[in-house]
Amino acid sequence: GEDVEQSLFLSVREGDSSVINCTYTDSSSTYLYWYKQEPGAGLQLLTYIFSNMDMKQDQRLTVLLNKKDKHLSLRIADTQTGDSAIYFCAESTGGYNKLIFGAGTRLAVHP
Amino acid sequence: DARVTQTPRDKVTEMGQEVTMRCQPILGHNTVFWYRQTMMQGLELLAYFRNRAPLDDSGMPKDRFSAEMPDATLATLKIQPSEPRDSAVYFCASGLVGTSLNEQFFGPGTRLTVL
């Protein structure tokens, strides 16, 4: 069935790189997504990657996609305290904009 | 600046009371989603609508939850009677079918506490 899995917690030092990993099951997903949830707020689309791409870079963010292993990762370079949030991996499935979200990875950035 | 709005932002109620949460999707969007977020279960999809018609509400406890879209500018999620285990943050999201990206835009959520 449809399932998206990701680790629940990640703690990094300010200025280091963060890498959040995700595995998914639906190989027909056209896009794969990373959503960010800041404290007390709803989810917001952070970045995405088209399924026929291996990598996408957007300023401090790098998304890597391994379709063979159905593995997606988000790398945040020079992690700042403002990056502390929950990051959700998601795949699209079944049409009608339906997304399947992972459980979310809580990123804590410490000095 | 188009955004999804939800009311109320916070709701504290007693067990057995009726709770109604409201959502105004972004104007022009034709899909609406209701999610529930808890520490234990994470983000759960409760129901979704396309063009105001319910497509799937299999994630919703049928005996006490109901979701409707009286018109294109309003979606409601009702719990009657409420129970302590319903305590969670409820999110509404909207989107537009026909765009390839399938982005969902989330509201700020309603934090429900049932005592």
- Determine, for residues B91 and A31 on separate chains, whether the beta-carbon distance falls below 8 Å: no
Residue with tokens 């934090």: B111
> How far apart (Å, rounded) are the C-alpha atoms in residues A4 and B59?
17
Question: Quick one: pLDDT at residue B41?
Answer: 86
Q: Is the peptide bond before B84 cis (omega within 30 degrees of 0)?
A: no
Q: What digits encode the pLDDT tens for the residues B32-41? A: 999 999 988 8
Q: Is the pLDDT of residue A96 over 70?
A: no
Neighbours of A81 (CB within 10 A): 10
Instruction: Decide if B25 touches A, using CB distance below 8 A.
Output: no
Question: Quick one: pLDDT at residue A2?
Answer: 64
Instruction: Decide if B91 touches A, using CB distance below 8 A.
Output: yes
Q: Do the beta carbons of residue B81 and residue B17 sit within 8 Å?
A: yes
- Separation in Å, CA of A111 to nearest CA in chain B: 26
Q: Is the pLDDT of residue A1 over 80?
A: no
SS3 B108: coil
Question: Quick one: pLDDT at residue A94?
Answer: 62
Encoded tokens for B92: 């509404």
In 3D space, the residue among B80, B79, B113, B72 whose CA is nearest the CA of residue B96 turns out to be B72
> How far apart (Å, rounded) are the C-alpha atoms in residues B47 and B63?
14
- Determine, for residues A42 and B103 on separate chains, whether the beta-carbon distance falls below 8 Å: no
Question: Quick one: pLDDT at residue B79?
Answer: 97
Q: Do the beta carbons of residue B48 and residue B56 sit within 8 Å?
A: yes
Counting Cβ atoms within 10 Å, is residue A22 exposed (0-12), middle (13-18) or buried (19+)? Answer: buried
Counting Cβ atoms within 10 Å, is residue B70 exposed (0-12), middle (13-18) or buried (19+)? Answer: exposed
Residue with tokens 């949830």: A37
Q: What digits encode the pLDDT tens for the residues A14-64? A: 999 999 999 998 878 888 999 999 999 999 999 999 989 999 999 999 999
Q: What digits encode the pLDDT tens for the residues B50-81? A: 999 998 888 898 899 999 999 999 999 999 99
Encoded tokens for B110: 């309603």
Q: Do the beta carbons of residue A85 and residue A39 sit within 8 Å?
A: yes
> How far apart (Å, rounded) are the C-alpha atoms in residues A54 and A69?
12
Question: Quick one: pLDDT at residue B39?
Answer: 87
Instruction: Decide if B34 touches A, using CB distance below 8 A.
Output: no
Report the residue from A40, A99, A103 with minimal CB separation from B104. Answer: A99
DSSP A75-100: EESS--GGG-EEEEEEEE-SSTT-EE
Region A53-81: mean pLDDT is 96
- Determine, for residues B50 and A42 on separate chains, whether the beta-carbon distance falls below 8 Å: no
Per-residue buried b or exposed e for B92-111, using 16+ beta carbons within 10 Å of the residue's own CB: bbbbbeeeeebbbbbbbbbb
Instruction: Decide if B43 touches A, using CB distance below 8 A.
Output: yes
Q: Is the pLDDT of residue B99 over 80?
A: no
Question: Quick one: pLDDT at residue B14?
Answer: 97
